[in-house]
Structure 1
Amino acid sequence: MHKLVIALLAAGIVSGAAFAQSSPLKIGFVAELSGPQAPLGQDQYDALMLVIEQNGGKLGGVPVQVIKEDSQLKPDVANQVVDKLLEKDKVPIITGVTFSNIMMAVHKKITDKGVFLIGSNAGPSPVAGAQCSPYFFSTSWQNDNQAEVVGKYASDKGYKNVIAMAPNYQAGKDFVAGFKRSFKGGTITDEIYTPLNQQDFSAELAQVASKKPDALYVFYPGGLGVNFVKQFQQAGLNKSITVMSTSTVDGSTLPALRDAAIGMLSGTFWGPDFPNEANQKFVAAFEKKYNRIPSQYAAQGYDAAQLLDSAIRKVKGKVDDKKAFHAALKAADFKSIRGNFKFGNNQFPVQDMYMFDVAKDSKGRVSLRTVAKPLVNHVDAYAAQCNMKAL
């Protein structure tokens, strides 16, 4: 078959362009897909593939091939798989990327090659600010945003003494900075940073107990969150201290936590109970296919797929026309499951941010329930530092 195509090309019977169009558009997907943090990457991937399946194996009317790579929460591994995607697979688009240390390791490498990176989770502050790139778009949030809405909520509720806890890496520092930025009228009595791979929080929880704060702000994603919440409850602290969190009690951890997380608070951009039609269809389709409630990671992956679907359609599959494809992505001409969606100057979403509590849904399952919308059309704190160059 290969020889036949070559012969036809040589004879001028089939044009090179026609042959190229018959090949699927390659899209790289990079995320944590093994270890304790695997559910975060898996939900992003499952939502991406759900959209592609709903579209008959296509995005924007073009057949696509998704090349999945596991970054294993290791920057060196992430660089290796990205090198493969860029040099061997020659993908024009990469999506996914869960953790901020991974994003910081690969962002420049990808965007310097003129490859579009559609991030569906990590939003480290440098990428939103001074290191912004026209080749990077986020369908999630800048890290600080999820913490800023919690800080605003804590201020509205009148908490006076709060302790902050997070892993000691880029996202952990961003989240605590975001909380502090919007927490007014109270005091952060302590900031506790733990190693990213630490699973035992008994010493830190003893420290928290001794200081008797009104509330505890925490960011512990994936398996870290499961361990933290269970140990917090075992220490009996749930009876006296309110937990306000980001990416700790969410759709990725609640199946393991169940009733242990009831009453805890979480701040983010989306919840499975949003009443808009697009979201209701997404939740129903995701639950039917995967037999679980989608997490925010799935929501972000779904919107990333919808963004790509809309932009690829606008350029009729010609993603090599980078200026046109960039304009199509920036237009964000799709119905987001979060409601209104638009990009700011740094190509991060300008969006409403909500607070949720953990409660039983109408089917008796532990899930997130919307309780407040403290921030409306929120712009991240680093957008002003972005001086984006035109393509």
Structure 2
Amino acid sequence: MKFTHITLACALALSGTLAGAQTTGKLKVGLMLPATGTFASLGTAIENGFRLHIAEQGGKLAGREIEFFKVDDESDPSKAVDNATKLVSRDKVDVLVGTVHSGVAMAMAKVAKDTGTMLIVPNAGADAVTGAMCAPHIFRSSFSNWQPGYAMGEVMAKRGHKNVVTITWKYAAGDESVRGFKEAFEKSGGKVVKELALPFPNVEFQALLTEIAAAKPDAVYTFFAGGGAVKFVKDYAGAGLKIKIPLYGAGFLTDGTLEAQGADADGLFTTLHYADSLNTPRDQAFRLAYAKAYKLQPDVYAVQGYDAAQMLSVGLAAVKGDISKKTEFAAALRKAKIDSPRGPFTISASHNPVQDIYLRQVGAKENKSTGIASKALADPGRGCRM
């Protein structure tokens, strides 16, 4: 009996120590982002933005120092489950942050669901992450693929285009962006006459550009990002199509790519939840701080990384640093208004941002806002059951 009492006392003491560690020890953050390949620069911007917010908080969130564990996901879905599992099982991270590629994000969401690990997605717009794969501990700080596509469908219909060709990579992000575009465009009476796609990350566009020229649509809607977006815009202009058939896209076409695209991007219209010329005090302060810290101008990816850290901060503050209290963490975020450089946004019931989508036009190597394409646009969260 004496042994039982001693064991119970030790267990209680150990329990108290572990509880204290949950709220006062280092918070382990697993950054699973691309460091090589087509999306490498996007991964860097996301990490920069995430670290900037933490630096602004004195290196701590809810009183807890942050310890980072990093893995290059290589934008390779076949390696995603193993990479995410290593962060969770080997490194014992408290929260996963990633990624850019939608296929990789879907694998991360599966691991997060299976292990109960907190996940914040700072870019990948895979609709299912906040749709059928939704969970109380999975959040997104960026967008769903449906959102910018749907907004541009409304814009192009209002601009009088009737017959449109779409072109993208054949993967989740491209497919879902086009579906969002079609939903809004066809609802307004437009018609998608041809859907073109090529495997990710293939950038041999010439054959498809020849098909576009032969189809003679009123306009083209596209989804590309990173290095692929640079080459597509240059090839589109080089084929003589830019002056004949207006090109529109989800904002990733021209975000973080304008320096490399040069004059070939001038005049292009895109839709996205951020723009270079918002000129709000909040955005100006962010841009100044980012430029000072990294000697670079921020883009949408930096904003999404920054807001991922803001969301983590809001949730942690509500649970006094105890990230194991996932229900309370989620409840706090659903009630919050995130003070983002993009403009304030809220979190939907499926944990996706409810946000303004801007219509932007490229000029002087900036994605300048020409107004709001869709106000407080909420992803429908189809299939989400929480």
CA gap of 1:127–1:165, structure 2 versus 1, over 3 A, is same
Residue 76 of structure 1: aligned partner: 78
CA gap of 1:125–1:248, structure 2 versus 1, over 3 A, is closer
Aligned with residue 194 of structure 1, among 193, 198, 218: 198
Instruction: Indicate the SS of the match to 2:271.
Output: strand
Residue 114 of structure 1: aligned partner: 116
1:96, 1:301 within 8 Å by CA — same for their partners in 2?
A: no
Give the stretch that moved more between structures: 163-172 or 287-296. Answer: 287-296
Instruction: Indicate the SS of the match to 2:149.
Output: helix
Question: How many residue pairs align between the two structures?
Answer: 373
Residue 3 of structure 1: aligned partner: none
After superposition, residues 377-388 of structure 1 pair within 5 angstroms as 377-381=376-380, 383-388=381-386
1:306 Cα deviation after fit: 0.9
Gaps of 5+ in 2: 1-9
Residue 16 of structure 1: aligned partner: 17
Q: Does 1:138 align with 2:137?
A: no
Instruction: Indicate the SS of the match to 1:35.
Output: coil
Q: What amino acid is the match of 1:386? A: C
Gaps of 5+ in 1: 1-8, 361-365
CA–CA separation in structure 2 for the residues paired with 1:282 and 1:124: 27
CA gap of 1:335–1:248, structure 2 versus 1, over 3 A, is closer
Q: What amino acid is the match of 1:231? A: D
Residue 245 of structure 1: aligned partner: 249
1:310, 1:333 within 8 Å by CA — same for their partners in 2?
A: no
Q: Render the CA deviation track for 1:231-283: whole Å, top value 9, x for unaligned.
A: 11111111111110114433321121122211111111111221322211111
CA–CA separation in structure 1 for the residues paired with 2:97 and 2:190: 39
Q: Does 1:371 align with 2:375?
A: no
CA gap of 1:71–1:384, structure 2 versus 1, over 3 A, is closer
1:23 Cα deviation after fit: 3.1
Q: Render the CA deviation track for 1:70-101: whole Å, top value 9, x for unaligned.
A: 11011232222211111011112111211111
Residue 4 of structure 1: aligned partner: none
Residue 327 of structure 1: aligned partner: 331
1:128 Cα deviation after fit: 2.6
After superposition, residues 196-345 of structure 1 pair within 5 angstroms as 196-345=200-349
Instruction: Indicate the SS of the match to 1:252.
Output: coil
After superposition, residues 160-199 of structure 1 pair within 5 angstroms as 160-183=162-185, 184-199=188-203
1:367 Cα deviation after fit: 1.0
CA–CA separation in structure 1 for the residues paired with 2:117 and 2:206: 44
1:227 Cα deviation after fit: 0.9
1:251, 1:293 within 8 Å by CA — same for their partners in 2?
A: no
Instruction: Indicate the SS of the match to 1:239.
Output: coil
1:28 Cα deviation after fit: 0.9
Q: What amino acid is the match of 2:64? A: V
- Structure 1: which 4+ aligned runs deviate by more than 4 Å? 17-22
Q: Render the CA deviation track for 1:88-142: whole Å, top value 9, x for unaligned.
A: 1111211121111111222111122111111111122222322221111111111
CA gap of 1:197–1:121, structure 2 versus 1, over 3 A, is same
Q: Does 1:153 align with 2:159?
A: no
1:334 Cα deviation after fit: 3.6
CA–CA separation in structure 1 for the residues paired with 2:382 and 2:239: 43
Instruction: Indicate the SS of the match to 1:159.
Output: coil
1:168 Cα deviation after fit: 0.6
Instruction: Indicate the SS of the match to 1:237.
Output: coil
CA–CA separation in structure 2 for the residues paired with 1:71 and 1:354: 30
Instruction: Indicate the SS of the match to 1:374.
Output: strand
1:249, 1:264 within 8 Å by CA — same for their partners in 2?
A: no
CA gap of 1:248–1:325, structure 2 versus 1, over 3 A, is closer
Residue 38 of structure 1: aligned partner: 40
1:333 Cα deviation after fit: 4.7
Please, what is the CA RMSD of the aligned residues? 2.1
1:307, 1:333 within 8 Å by CA — same for their partners in 2?
A: no
CA–CA separation in structure 2 for the residues paired with 1:32 and 1:384: 28
1:218, 1:248 within 8 Å by CA — same for their partners in 2?
A: no
Instruction: Indicate the SS of the match to 2:290.
Output: helix
Give the stretch that moved more between structures: 126-135 or 196-205. Answer: 126-135
Q: What amino acid is the match of 1:30? A: M
CA gap of 1:65–1:214, structure 2 versus 1, over 3 A, is same
